[in-house]
């Protein structure tokens, strides 16, 4: 019963996300949907006002920003989901670790398992941050730690990964408990309570600002003009031809350095056995896909570009927690369609229940970030961004 209710809510969520993501996608709908969109527009205007007041309070000191006495690098975005932030956080952490830094990643742990809000509100006990990894051992699974923190912890031995809504608390914990000298604030552009030394903002080339509206009528978390806070702006999912977007960003921010990068598939990995396959294996293969991410079309189209014949796509809402029956359903469907494999994303794979054997192999696509313009490679980019003396930003009214 509960699963049926969750699926119904997720179908509504996916439908709304689809019509607010792209400019023009909300046109031509029947009257009830247009009325709903008008209602969402009203909420969006209220949200815009709240965002402006909150930032004003932080800027004027009414709300305090807490310094932690170490380097704090914020990696975030101005839109809700889908910019490819996690691989960027991963490569920053890896390069900083190689440079001799003691690194911790601070994450909110979106949709991690936790007590109901009313229990948290009235509890007097102050819980320490959840330690997904202490840099030596993986201590929590994706259900308790969250999808992205678990994925980062799995891929980054030597890096501490902490999860807590209060990133000031988790930052202090990282410094005192683990001796960290560099904190990466995952999804930190809107988190003003912790003082950032560097502000790195990601902009998705394929859908930079959605339809231009703030949540919930659009995908913007704050007005586009607030890109002026960024020190470095990464254009992600770029094809190398971003002249118009660069021009728009430069109009909004006259001091930030702009770096273009793309998500580069590296190999396929079996979710259950760990076996690697080269990307050439996809050529001419019939596959099905299973994903619960913000922009599934990007993943599915990347498989088609690599020569796969995608014959069926099963989509769930972002961060969907899979049950065994849902995985069995796609496996049986794929077997009936005589597909060579089920393909998913790395972020989805960490949420899969375990199976001893499957009728069809299940692979996830391993993706890295590759610099296209603005730096020679990520090592140079990280060195330039994190180890240079920060310039003064021009003041903004």
pLDDT in tens, 331-374: 999 999 999 999 999 999 999 999 999 999 999 999 998 989 88
pLDDT exceeds cutoff 50 at 397 = no
Q: Is 105 helix (H, G, I), strand (E, B) or coil?
A: strand
What's the token pair of residue 36?
């709903």
Residue 355 gets which letter from DSSP? Answer: -
Helix (H) or strand (E) holding 320: none
Per-residue 3-state assignment (H helix, E strand, C coil) for 122-185: HCCCCCCCEEEEECCCECCCHHHHCHHHHHHHHHCCCCEEEECCCHHHHHHHHHHHHCCCEEEE
Predicted pLDDT of residue 18: 73
100 confidence band (pLDDT: 50, 70, 90): very high
Q: Which of 21-30, 115-124, 269-278 has the lowest mean pLDDT?
A: 115-124
Nearest alpha-carbon partner for 293 in 313, 271, 272 = 313
108 confidence band (pLDDT: 50, 70, 90): very high
What's the token pair of residue 229?
């806070």
Q: Which domains does the chain have, with CATH numbers?
A: 71-263+370-386 (3.40.50.300), 264-367 (3.40.50)
Beta strands in 55-147 (DSSP E): 71-77, 103-107, 130-134
CA–CA separation, 256 vs 28, rounded Å? 39
**Rounded mean pLDDT of 152-156?**
96
């Amino acid at each position: 019963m509960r699963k049926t209710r969750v699926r119904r809510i997720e179908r509504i969520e996916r439908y709304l996300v689809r019509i607010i993501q792209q400019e023009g996608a909300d046109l031509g709908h029947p009257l009830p949907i247009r009325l709903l969109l008008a209602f969402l527009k009203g909420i969006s205007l209220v949200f815009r006002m709240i965002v402006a007041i909150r930032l004003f309070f932080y800027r004027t000191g009414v709300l305090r920003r807490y310094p932690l006495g170490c380097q704090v690098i914020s990696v975030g975005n101005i839109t809700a989901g889908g910019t490819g932030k996690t691989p960027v956080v991963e490569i920053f952490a890896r390069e900083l670790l190689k440079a001799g830094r003691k690194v911790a990643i601070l994450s909110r742990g979106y949709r991690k398992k936790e007590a109901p809000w009313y229990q948290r509100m009235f509890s007097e006990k102050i819980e320490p941050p959840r330690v997904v990894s202490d840099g030596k051992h993986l201590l929590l699974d994706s259900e308790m730690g969250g999808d992205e923190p678990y994925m980062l912890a799995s891929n980054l031995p030597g890096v501490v990964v902490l999860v807590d809504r209060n990133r000031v608390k988790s930052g202090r914990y990282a410094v005192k408990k683990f001796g960290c000298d560099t904190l990466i604030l995952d999804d930190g552009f809107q988190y003003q309570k912790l003082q950032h030394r560097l502000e790195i903002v990601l902009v998705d080339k394929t859908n930079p600002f959605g339809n231009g509206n703030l949540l919930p009528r659009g995908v913007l978390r704050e007005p586009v003009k607030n890109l002026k806070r960024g020190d470095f702006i990464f254009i992600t999912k770029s094809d190398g031809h971003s002249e118009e977007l660069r021009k728009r960003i430069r109009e909004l921010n006259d001091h930030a350095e702009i770096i273009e990068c793309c998500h580069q598939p590296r190999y396929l990995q079996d979710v259950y056995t760990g076996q690697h396959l080269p990307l050439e294996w996809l050529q001419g293969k019939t596959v099905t896909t299973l994903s619960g991410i913000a922009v599934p079309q990007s993943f599915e189209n990347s498989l088609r570009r690599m020569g796969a014949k995608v014959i069926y796509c099963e989509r769930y809402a972002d961060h969907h927690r899979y049950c065994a029956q849902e995985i069995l359903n796609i496996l049986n469907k794929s077997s009936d369609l005589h597909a060579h494999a089920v393909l998913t994303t790395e972020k989805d794979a960490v949420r899969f229940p375990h199976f001893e054997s499957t009728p069809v192999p299940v692979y996830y696509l391993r993706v890295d970030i590759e610099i296209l313009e603005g730096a020679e490679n990520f090592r140079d980019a990280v060195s330039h961004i994190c180890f240079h003396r920060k310039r003064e930003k021009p003041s903004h009214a």
